[in-house]
């Protein structure tokens, strides 16, 4: 069935809807990865977004068994229990798939979770427009459908509460105990921590983890790509944790939240970092690692207090990728060391964190 993408500036792209035919409205972003779409589709970081893929040759290896679990009872091939994005845009959808672990097509997977998708779109032209306008708000309308609803702007909502788990979950029981705050935690973060014989207690995003109701040796804050200033409750708890000299490791949004909790400033990037091949340099060793990233905001290095220093920087645009306290065991990283999708150059950071407890 025919479908349209209507931008907030009234630019129209026409294409074809495949399988689940419904209209939606949200923010549109792009990503340049060439594979790993089962992991990306279920990445909570894409809540409230319509994802555009720049690489045309995807979807040809199908979707693995969604019900299969790993050793830790987590979804084996996926990063959460459902698709979080609001829609998908591809250049050309492959009708046929072939992989020894494939159980269903992408179209069937999207239909089962009621996620609309559109193909035969000029994704190159679309991506160029998105790059120049940061992100844009869109309506995805299936032909003859009427969508009177106003375009939704996820930036004015605290979407974290909509995705974060509502109850405490405890994984494994070992000597070193980690409190993992679920902003939009990916399964591979939990796997990465558990692989070093730890007890991981996952708490909701607004949980008062500094009220001493749970015992932990280290505090780990999960990923979240939206505006960090929308998490005032968590920032308040983090200030308490910093004052109490807790061992803290933060990723993604938390690189910005730890800065805000320390009275530094953040700003929105012009193009954002949304791909799996971002080079970052260690300012201490001058070594380069390739990282996976998905964020729009960065720290203003000039606003950092004297107690904090930059550690990693992005080689492409010199933006801040890691900060650390000079006299505390508190560190935060902007990229995704847990990968899935992406390279595993930085997975050693989990081991460093556990060893520091």
Question: What angle, 0 to 180 degrees and rounded to 10, lies between the N-to-C axes of helices 232-243 and 253-261?
Answer: 70
Distance CA 45, CA 85 (A): 8
- The CA-based dihedral angle spanning residues 186, 191, 192, 194, taken in that order and rounded to the nearest 10 degrees: 130
Residues catalogued as catalytic: 252, 336, 338
The neighbour count for residue 309, using CB atoms within 10 Å, is 15
Instruction: Please report, in angstroms and rounded to a whole number, the separation of the first and last CA atoms in the chain.
Output: 56
Distance CA 290, CA 7 (A): 33
Burial per residue of 205-236, b for 16 or more beta-carbon CB atoms within 10 angstroms, e otherwise: bbbebbeeeeebbbbbbbbbbbbbebbeebee
The 8-class DSSP code of residue 122 comes to -
């Amino acid at each position: 069935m025919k479908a349209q993408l209507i931008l907030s500036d009234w630019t129209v792209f026409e294409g074809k809807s495949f399988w689940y035919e419904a209209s939606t409205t949200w923010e549109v972003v792009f990503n340049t990865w060439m594979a790993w779409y089962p992991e990306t589709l279920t990445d909570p970081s894409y809540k409230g977004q319509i994802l555009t893929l720049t690489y045309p040759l995807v979807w040809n290896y199908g979707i693995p068994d969604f019900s299969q679990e790993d050793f830790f009872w987590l979804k084996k091939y996926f990063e959460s229990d459902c698709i979080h994005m609001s829609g998908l845009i591809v250049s050309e959808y492959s009708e046929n798939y072939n992989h020894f672990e494939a159980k269903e097509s992408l179209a069937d997977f999207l239909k089962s979770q009621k996620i609309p998708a559109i193909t035969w779109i000029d994704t190159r032209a679309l991506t160029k427009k998105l790059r120049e306008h940061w992100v844009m708000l869109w309506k995805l309308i299936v032909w003859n459908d009427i969508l009177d609803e106003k375009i939704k702007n996820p930036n004015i909502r605290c979407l974290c509460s909509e995705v974060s788990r509502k109850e405490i979950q405890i994984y494994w029981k070992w000597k070193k105990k980690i409190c993992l705050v679920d902003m939009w935690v990916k399964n591979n973060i939990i796997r990465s921590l558990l692989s070093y014989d730890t007890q991981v207690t996952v708490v909701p995003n607004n949980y008062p983890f500094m009220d001493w109701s749970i015992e932990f040796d280290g505090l780990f804050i999960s990923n979240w790509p939206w505006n960090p200033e929308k998490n005032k409750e968590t920032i308040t708890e983090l200030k308490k944790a910093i004052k109490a000299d807790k061992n803290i490791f933060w990723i993604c949004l938390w690189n910005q939240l730890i800065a805000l909790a320390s009275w530094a400033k953040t700003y929105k990037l012009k193009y954002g970092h949304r791909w799996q091949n971002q080079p970052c340099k260690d300012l201490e060793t001058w070594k380069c690692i390739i990282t996976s990233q998905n964020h729009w905001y960065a720290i203003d290095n000039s606003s950092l207090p004297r107690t904090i220093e930059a550690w990693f920087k992005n080689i492409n645009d010199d933006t801040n990728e890691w900060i650390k306290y000079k006299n505390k065991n508190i560190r935060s990283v902007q990229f995704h060391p847990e990968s899935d999708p992406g390279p595993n150059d930085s997975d050693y950071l989990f081991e460093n964190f556990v060893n520091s407890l």
